Structure formats: C-alpha cells, structure tokens
Amino acid sequence: MRIIFIGPPGAGKGTQAGKIVDSYKLAHLSTGDMLRAATAAKTEIGLLAEKFMLNGQFVPDDVIIGIISERLNSSDCKSGFLLDGFPRTLPQAAALDELLQKNKTPLNIVLELKVPDDELLRRLAERGRADDKPDVIKNRLKVYNEQTAPLLQYYEKQSLLKSIDGQGNINEIFNRIKETLDKFI
C-alpha cells in the first residue's frame, strides 16, 4: 500500500503514522524526521533546512524532492510506504507523481487528518518543540492553508482523497483510519 498522509501541523500525523506503519508493515517516509536528523547531524542539507524551519517556512522543493527520490528507491519501500509531510505543494505533488509513474508504483490513497485550528493551536503549544513558538505556529498554519490545502482538491480530482476526523483520543482516531485503509486491502 502506498499512502500520502496530509494534515496541518499538530493534527497528530506523526503519532498516527507510527501506528499505521506498524499495523500495515509500511516504510515510514517522514520528511520532518529526515530533516530534523539532517539538522541535528549538521549536514549541508540540514543546515540549509534549519534556516527555513526556524522561521516556520517550508524547505525548498528541490531539497525535499532529492531526499524523497533517494528514499523511494530504498528496498524497504518496495512493499509499500507512508509519506508523512510530503508533498506539501502542487509542484511537489506533480514531481511525486512523475517519480511514482517512473517507478510504476502509483498511490493507493491520500489520507487527510482534519482538526480545527483552535485545537491545533492548543496541541502545538503543549508539544514544546523549539520551532513551536506562537508566532511560528501561526505562520506554519497560514503557510499550510495557502500552500498545502490546494493538494486536497488535486487528490480529490484523482479520487484518492479520504478525510479522517482527527479529533478524539489516539485510538479513536486510529480506528477511523484503519476502517478507511482496510477497504483497500
């Protein structure tokens, strides 16, 4: 199964992605984790990415697409993967479509985790990451709504989009996700 997981910062994608990859034995491709690891390791890409991340901006497409392209060719992706945090823009989605078409591995589903803004702000304030300052949080939500939200229409036109209510406890949310994914097995 090949899945894209979309949702605003604080929606719980990371938590639910872990449950999905464990339950369905998928490779977890989290651009956030890959970028944080590169930042911590002070790699060239990590230092470049850090400048953008600390200001609540997205890392440029060419950097992210290069990371994803390499990762999709890994052996653990052959039996399926979950993309978490990518694509975030229409150009990234088009580049991903091209990569997947080239590899003859089309997407099965795009899951959107929906959570109201007031709940997102509360969750992010409690999370306590270095990049979760109030002004940065508001900017990240603004950037998400401007750049990522159009992906929902893009994937809806391809009949791939399924929206999941991201409110409730972790297990309630996962049960809704599992119910949706089990229809594709």
Structural domains of the chain, ranges and CATH numbers in brackets? 2-179 (3.40.50.300)
Q: With beta carbons less than 8 A apart as the criterion, state whether 113 and 6 touch.
A: yes
What digits encode the pLDDT tens for the residues 120-178? Answer: 988 988 887 777 788 888 888 898 888 888 999 999 999 999 999 999 999 999 999 99
| Residues marked as catalytic | 13, 88, 127, 129, 140
Angle subtended at Cα 28 by Cα 166 and Cα 134, rounded to the nearest 5 degrees: 50
Question: Which H or E element spans position 150?
Answer: helix 150-157
Q: What pTM did the predictor assign? A: 0.84
CA distance 152 to 142: 16
What digits encode the pLDDT tens for the residues 32-84? Answer: 787 887 788 887 777 888 888 888 887 888 878 877 887 888 899 999 999 99
